[in-house]
Amino acid sequence: QVQLVQSGAEVKKPGASVNVSCKASGYTFNDYWIHWVRQAPGQGLEWVGWIYPNSGVTKFAQKFQGRVTMTRDTSINTAYMELSRLTSDDTAVYYCTRDLNWAYDYWGQGTLVTVSS
Amino acid sequence: DIVMTQTPLSSPVTLGQPASISCRSSQSLVYSDGNTYLSWLQQRPGQPPRLLIYKVSNRLSGVPDRFSGSGAGTDFTLKISRVEAEDVGVYYCMQGTQNPWTFGQGTKVEIK
């Protein structure tokens, strides 16, 4: 069965960086785009960007350009999202999700990133 | 960016009764390949979102047939034919036609 398992919760200080991992299993990792979506406490969903594991090509939302990096390690079927220069506005649950026909059919459990001094 | 507007934002429903959520996009969601990349997600409390419907009206395998999606162009609807207790949560529409992908604000479905 398809699973996306994310790394655990993080607490970071303003200005720091955070790296969240997403390990995929149950399907061919290279064949599906992985997207990252975040959700601030009590708020809606916000698209961060995607990576295509086969090639490593990435695309980010404009507001994250220059602050976000997405990479993958195909040998261990894992995608990574790094967000730098964190502020309190980045406090959110970050989800990785698999792209099926430009919709999200499988989701990770979410990683809470808390930015606090 | 394409703005997705959902109505209502809150929907108190009696068990066994129907519910309907509207989603309107600021631009047509028809892509150059002829497909319309509009999907619906359900988020139960404390859970990640779950895909219900993709490409307007395609129900994901395992999703109960009381959920249905319809619409075209800029106007879309999610219908629940008979609401059950497990349907409580927040429902989002989402467009994948144009970068950046965007979501509606969410509609909270609760039992009266």
pLDDT tens for B67-77 read 999 999 999 99
- Which residue has 């990640």 as its token pair? B48
Do the Cβ atoms of B19 and B83 come closer than 8 Å?
Answer: yes
Please list the pLDDT of chain A residue by residue as tens digits (117 residues): 999 999 999 999 999 999 999 999 999 999 999 999 999 999 999 999 999 999 999 999 999 999 999 999 999 999 999 999 999 999 999 999 999 888 999 999 999 999 999
Interface membership of B36 toward A (CB under 8 Å): no
Do the Cβ atoms of B24 and B5 come closer than 8 Å?
Answer: yes
Q: Tell me the helices (H) and strands (E) count for chain B, helix number first.
A: 0, 11
A16-50: b or e for each residue (b if 16 or more CB lie within 10 Å)? eebebbbbbeeeebeebbbbbbbbeeeeebbbbbb
CA A25 and chain centroid, separation: 16
- The rounded distance, in Å, linking the Cα atoms of B90 and B108 is 4
B51, B59, B94, B105: best to mutate for the A interface, most A CBs within 10 A: B51
DSSP H/E element including B107: strand B107-111
| A62/B105 CB distance under 8 A | no
Beta carbons within 10 angstroms of residue A80's beta carbon: 18
Tell me the pLDDT tens digit for each residue of B31-43: 999 999 999 999 9
Provide residues of A within 8 Å CB-CB of chain B. Answer: 35, 44-47, 59, 61-62, 95, 99-105, 107-110
| A101/B37 CB distance under 8 A | yes
Do the Cβ atoms of A70 and A36 come closer than 8 Å?
Answer: yes
| A44/B105 CB distance under 8 A | yes
Q: For residue B29, what pLDDT is reported? A: 97
A22, A50, A104, A111: best to mutate for the B interface, most B CBs within 10 A: A104
